[in-house]
Amino acid sequence: MALEIKKLADHVGVEVKGVDASKPFDEETLKTVYKAWVDHSVLVLKGQDLTPQQFVEFSRQFGKPIEQNLKHLNVDGCPELAFISSEDRDIHGTGKRIVRGTSWHTDHSYADIPPKATMLYGIDIPSKGGDTQFVNMYAAYDALSEDMKSFIKGRRVLHVYQASRAPRKMGVRTKDQEESSPGTWQPLVRQNPDTGRKALYLNAMRMEEVEGLSEKESTDLLNELLVHCDQLQFQYSHKWRKGDVLIWDNRATLHQGSAGFDPSERRYLHRVMLQGEEPVLAN
């Protein structure tokens, strides 16, 4: 079957048809699929049938998988593979069921070198709800006024594990984890080495302050930028089906999960993250 590429939204998202993720891609196919991904920031492959190891091996074609931080969410025998489940619970507090990732964020931005990409594979999918939403941060940056672009040029933001303004609580970390990643200054506008394009780099969960601004000025600026990004014109919402594979570029998107599914229905996905590079401050 010949490759077919289909746009999913104006600014973000593309589906590639005619590929089998359980087998290694030939050089030309990989080049085409990789380019479709970096050009559109979110890539969807439908109708896949993958074992845990096949999913990890598939991911290696896009980069180096990294071991998961939350060991209690690892898939047995695959340190690079985590699961996301409708049975996830708050193990540090109430013990109630939780839906992870339900606010706009980019993965692990508190790390000096955040993952360049995240991949999900849908195994058990409820009949409705549980969508994953994305914002194209290239388009969000391009749509800023010239005055705003000038004001934020060259600025950095302190990203920490749990920001004081975070809309939800994060899991408790070990002392070693706290000491290994106390926080880092990230560019407010970063340049993607795969495309050369500039994107806003924001994370509602992690941003603590803007370098050189007061607390109020930092809060006002970050809130204004987050509101700006949360426009439907920049977004794509993925409605899951069993066998879907999603790959998104953490350097150029925000994403969030959603609930809205029947708690009696099982939702279960596998997740891989790929090693990134130190974020580059855009000129």
What pLDDT was estimated at residue 85? Answer: 87
What tokens does 203 get?
A: 């994370």
Of 7-11, 67-71, 135-139, 241-245, which range is least confident? 67-71
- Helix and strand numbers (H, E) in the chain are 6, 16
Q: pLDDT (tens digit, 9 = 90+) per residue, 109-129? A: 999 999 999 999 999 999 998
Q: Strands (DSSP E) along 31-98, which ranges?
A: 42-45, 74-75, 78-85
Torsion, Cα 79 254 111 33, to 10 degrees, reads: 50
Mean pLDDT estimate for the chain: 90
30 pLDDT above the threshold of 60: yes
CB contact at 8 A, 56 and 65: yes
With cut-offs at 50, 70 and 90, classify the pLDDT of residue 97. low
98 pLDDT above the threshold of 70: no
Torsion, Cα 69 71 74 78, to 10 degrees, reads: 80
91 pLDDT above the threshold of 90: no
Average pLDDT over residues 74-81: 85
CATH topology of domain 4-274: Double-stranded beta-helix (3.60.130)
Alpha-carbon distances, residue 266 vs 47, 65, 75, 84, 101 (angstroms): 19, 26, 17, 11, 17
Of 96-100, 191-195, 228-232, 267-271, which range is least confident? 96-100
Residue 93 or 210, more confident: 210
Give residue limits of the domains in the chain: 4-274
